Structures are given as structure tokens and as C-alpha cells.
Amino acid sequence: MVKISILKKNKLIRLLRFGLFSSLFFALIFFIDTRQFYFQQLIMGFVFGMLVGLLEEITAHRKFVSISLPLQFLIKILGITSIIIILSSILILSFVTIEEIDLNVILSHFKEKEISSPILSAFLVAITVSTYFQIEKLIGANRLMNYLKGSYRKPKKEIRVFLFIDLNASTTISEKLGNDTYYSFLNDAIYEMSTSIMETKAEIYQYVGDEIVFTWPLEKGITNNNCLRLYEKICEQLESKKSYFLKNYGYQPTFKAALHAGIVLAAEIGHIKKEIVYSGDVLNATARMESLCSKFDADILISKSLFNLLDKKHEILYEDIGSVSLKGKDEKLELIKIHLSDASFNQERKEIEKVLKSGREEYNN
């Protein structure tokens, strides 16, 4: 059986959602207009939605993202128009015989209400569904759903895991590349993180310059060590794309990171611009931890309280740094320094194990 990657699976689910949303929207519009319901409307709406979803996936590729917004919009409108014309032509051809097929006959059918009304409805459906999915992509599916449900109209306490990652040498890279190229570099790095984010069920909380903040409810974050695995997977993916980044930008993106968990207050704030935000000491502490990575020559630091909740700790290479004072904090925090699986620390351990193994074999012989 062919195994589908999580990225392709996610895209397929997105296409199916496009089809489902469009199908239901089409049926609703036709019912309001005619007070009748036909199963064919659902099928037509689903096929149309899938095609519009496919257009969205194509125009979401990083090659299209780099072009101006007006041009992106024009490409989408032309694409939607083409889809509508093709489907409408197929629908008209199903009504006429071979002898009646003529350009003038087909054009005359477009003026009929039975065809012109669905065409206008199709444009409305395409724009509405595409806009919804753009908003979902902009603020995140979970946060949009929570906003629509009003989950955070009243502040509520949650226990959450936070991962802060920050681009190393960002100032130097930015100065050398220039603003436009630098943000293209950063966007490419974030694009490469997509699969890892989906595999570990992470939510992107916010982008702060060249820093990214990920979060999970506690159970999701510690299940399968998702919070730590995300950072490891990001590092592995960026390393596998090293030649691409060096060829196009002359720099390889690497990130320092910090992991911590604690109680936050989640609430919806704002009037002109609404947003769901988390507030709590855990966020400040994680930011302070990240700033200590250079001091301890660490790629990633994790609070000991969170580390103790992870699975299979015996398989993780780590050092116990002990209690550390954080800037602006009275209480000290116990920190753990994690060594990545491909780090020199791990290589040294493998070499020692190899020597011990060969020595054991010689002893047995």
C-alpha cells in the first residue's frame, strides 16, 4: 500500500473541504432561489469546489507567493473564470444534440437564466469559500474555529507548551542579503517547516520578526514528544535543504530554541482588530530561556519540569544545567540542554560504544 506523506494528506483533506463547502453553499443558494433541491447541485458544487481548491493550491506555491498581490488576484480570477466556462460548456453540451453544436448556439445558452444564474452563483461561491480558507490560513484553523465558536470571549485558563525558535545570526544575514532577499530566505525556511508542523500537531501562535512561537495544549505537546520532535524535525529538514539555501542565498538557516510549559490565560481581545492571545509567566520565561542558548552553547534549552513529562527520556541526549537565574525573574528555573541526534556529542558516544563493542568481541573470542 502506497504511504501518503502528511503534507499531501493535508492538501487532499483541504481539497475535499473545498469541495464540501462549495457543494453545501451551492445547494443553499439554489434552494433560496428556486425552493427546490437537486442531488446534481451537490455533485456540481463539489466538483467545482475541488477545482477551485486545486487552483488555490497551485497559487499558494512559493513561486506564486513571491509575485504582487494584484497579479495573484488576477491569476485567481482568470482561473476561476476558466473553470466556470469549462463546466458551463459541459453542462450546455449535455442539453444539445450533435447537430445543434454551434458556437452561436452555445453562447445563446449562456444568456439563459438556467445557465447565467448558476454562473453568478459559482463566482459567489468561489470568492466566499476562497476568502474563508485564506482567513483560516492567515490566523490558523484552530484559532479561527475557536473564534467562531466564541471559546475565548470569556478568559479561560489553559496549560500549554510553548516552543520559541529564533534565527541565528539574523542581523548579519539581513544586512548581507537586504530586506527583500532576507524575507524570501526566511519564508523559504518557514515553508520547509510545514510538514514537521503538521506531523507534530503544532499551532503557530505568532511570528515576531525572525522568531516563531509554536504552542500545544499540554497533552498534545508531550504526546510522542511532539514539542521536542518539532525542533529536531525542523533542523533535519533544513539540513537536508542546505545545498538549496547555500546556492540561492549563501547562508544556511539554523535556529536556537527554548521549550517550557505552564498555565496561561487565553482570551479574545481587541475591537478594531480582534485576536486570541495567551498571557502568563511561561511566555516571558521561555523568551528568557531562549536568550540563554548562546551562554550555554545550546541549540535548545528545555525546562526540567517539562522535560520530566516527556517519554523515553533515556533515548534523549541531554545535560542537566541546574538552576539558572532568568533576567527579570526572582525565582530560578531548572534547565536541561538537549543534544540533537546528529550533534557531535552523539557522534562521540557512538565512537565510544564502537570501541567498547569491539573490545567486548575480542574478549569473548
- CA-to-CA dists, residue 263 to 142, 167, 266, angstroms: 19, 27, 10
Give the whole-angstrom CA distance, residue 41 versus residue 31: 10
pLDDT in tens, 109-153: 555 555 566 677 777 888 888 888 877 777 777 777 777 777 778
Helix (H/G/I), strand (E/B), else coil: 41: helix
Average pLDDT of the chain, as a whole number: 82
C-alpha distances in angstroms, 310 versus 161, 228, 342? 12, 9, 20
Bridge partners (DSSP) of residue 279 are: 265
- Domain residue limits, the chain: 6-139, 151-345
d(Cα 250, Cα 247) in Å, to the nearest integer? 6
Q: Residue 193 carries which DSSP code?
A: T
Judged against a pLDDT cut of 90, whether residue 255 lies above it is answered with: yes
| In the predicted structure, residue 63 carries a pLDDT above the cut 70 | no
Contact 80, 115 (CB under 8 A): no
Tell me: pLDDT of 364 over 60. Answer: no
Using pLDDT thresholds of 50, 70 and 90, give the confidence band for residue 69.
low
Q: Helix axis angle, 39-59 relative to 113-139, nearest 10°? A: 50
Cα–Cα distance, 350 to 344 (Å, whole number): 10
Q: How many CA atoms lie within 13 A of 12 on its CB side?
A: 6
**4 within 8 A of 12, measured Cβ to Cβ:** yes
Buried b or exposed e, range 239-267, using 16+ CB within 10 angstroms? eebeeebeeebebbbbbbbbbbbbebebe
- Whole-model pTM over 0.95: no
Is CATH 3.30.70.1230 the right assignment for the domain spanning 151-345? Answer: yes
Which whole number is the average pLDDT over 232-239? 94
Helix (H, G, I), strand (E, B) or coil at 204: strand
- The answer on pLDDT for 108 being more than 70 is no
Longest dimension (CA), the chain: 93
pLDDT at 66: 62
What was the pLDDT predicted at 40? Answer: 73
Distance CA 129, CA 135 (A): 10
How many other C-beta atoms are found inside a 10 Å radius of the C-beta of residue 67?
12
The pLDDT of residue 298 is 93
Which among 227, 240, 19 has a CA at the least distance from the CA of 126?
19
Name which of 111, 104, 106 is nearest 93 in CA terms: 106
Highest averaged pLDDT of the listed ranges 61-70, 77-86, 217-226: 217-226
Question: Is residue 114 classed as helix, strand or coil in its secondary structure?
Answer: helix
CA atoms of 84 and 110, how far apart (whole Å) = 11
Handedness of CA 48, 54, 60, 66 (dihedral sign): negative
What digits encode the pLDDT tens for the residues 12-58? 888 888 889 888 887 787 777 667 777 777 887 888 888 888 888 88
- Which tens digit of pLDDT belongs to each residue from 324-337? 988 877 788 999 99
